[in-house]
Amino acid sequence: MIKNFLMNLLLSAIWVALTGSLYYTNFLFGFMLGFFVLWIMNRNETDQRYFYRVPKIISFVFYFLYEVVKANVQVAFDVITPKYFFKPGIVKYPMSARTDFEINLLTTMISLTPGTLIIDISDDKKTIYIHVMYLTDPQTFVRQTQTGLERRLLAILR
Amino acid sequence: MIEIILGFLSTVGALSILFASIGILRMPDFYLRLSVTVKASTLGVGLLLICAAIMFPDISVTTKAIAIIFFLIITAPIGAHMIGRAAYFTGTPLWKGTISDELAGMYNEETHRLDSEEDESDDDIHDGKPNIAKTDEETK
């Protein structure tokens, strides 16, 4: 896993050195080429996790950007129109993330989505308390976050 | 082509910062103000920095912009979390339209310890009443 990633970085650095133009687009292109080469070379290996994980990470980044933009448009619409459409509330959210790193990433992602704000994490690290702006029903919010953001994030990390 | 992308991104970034500042004025309570401001300003500053990175074809500008965005994304949610937690401790009231407060009564009043399940023993300290604002009607 780590070995494959370092090999991929090395291949893209070699690509940048050989082509001689130090732009991030060229680096990205080299990374893609290196990923392709590694994928062809490692098709008979048993450990294929790296090659499943990189597309998942890219799709997660785009999913997250889409969510952020969607929620931002909703909040902006609510700010500039005279009527308040939101129903705020504090929700108790049971996490399935366990280690500190997973909790850190999950709370950062939830915080960066507009309309949600982490108030606190319980001391036994099982639940977090989220202040939500558009809360129609606490159960549906918890279910949506569990099946959407948290499942995708844990699929990458585990 | 590059100019169209630049114009689009910087307009969206500036507009989101503008909406954040209007949100500070218009939102009815502290938590809503906090949650409007932090995210929209993170997105706005991030977009403007991406514009700067695209505009100057210099690798040092790009690396600096990426580093600033990275640290902004790491630090902004933590700052918002700490401010919101401190506000809840000091009893900042929630807006009167708040529909649920599941955090009410979960804190231990002396030690500030937060449990994940409802604890019966300290019911006499805090009777689980959400501190939803009464000040709104009094002031208006």
- Residues A120/A27, Cβ–Cβ less than 8 Å: no
What residues 88-127 of chain B have any CB closer than 8 A to a CB of chain A?
A: 88, 94-95, 97-104, 106, 113-116
B68 part of a folded domain? yes
Residues in B touching A22 (Cβ below 8 Å): 59
The two tokens of residue B44 are 């706005």
B86 part of a folded domain? no
pLDDT digits (tens, 9 = 90+) for A44-94: 777 777 888 888 888 888 988 888 888 888 888 888 887 777 778 888 888
Residue B123 has pLDDT above 50, yes or no: no
Residues B67 and B12 grouped into a single domain: yes
Under 8 Å CB-to-CB from B45, ≥6 apart: which residues?
B13, B17, B72
B43 part of a folded domain? yes
User: How many CB atoms within 10 Å of residue B37?
Assistant: 20
Residue B54 is which amino acid?
Answer: I
What residues 2-61 of chain B have any CB closer than 8 A to a CB of chain A?
A: 15-16, 19, 22-23, 26-29, 31-32, 34-36, 38-40, 42-43, 57, 59
Residues B66 and B6 grouped into a single domain: yes
Q: How many domains does chain B have?
A: 2
Q: Residue B124 has what pLDDT?
A: 43
pLDDT digits (tens, 9 = 90+) for B11-47: 989 988 998 888 888 888 888 888 888 888 888 898 9
Calculated CA dihedral for residues B80, B83, B86, B92, nearest 10 degrees: -100
Domain that holds residue B110: 93-140
pLDDT digits (tens, 9 = 90+) for A100-142: 888 888 888 888 887 788 888 887 778 888 888 887 787 888 8
Q: Give dist(CA B18, CA B16) in Å, integer.
A: 5
List alpha helices for chain A, DSSP H.
2-19, 24-41, 49-80, 100-112, 138-145, 151-157
User: How many CB atoms within 10 Å of residue A43?
Assistant: 9
B38 part of a folded domain? yes
Residues B15 and B69 grouped into a single domain: yes
Residue A146 pLDDT level (bands cut at 50, 70, 90): confident
Measured between CB atoms, does A13 come within 8 Å of chain B?
Answer: no
Residue in this structure with the two tokens 């604002």, named with its chain if needed: B133
Q: Which of B27, B51, B76 is the last residue of a domain?
A: B76
Q: Residue B120 has what pLDDT?
A: 47
Residues B18 and B60 grouped into a single domain: yes
User: How many CB atoms within 10 Å of residue B2?
Assistant: 9
Residues B7 and B72 grouped into a single domain: yes
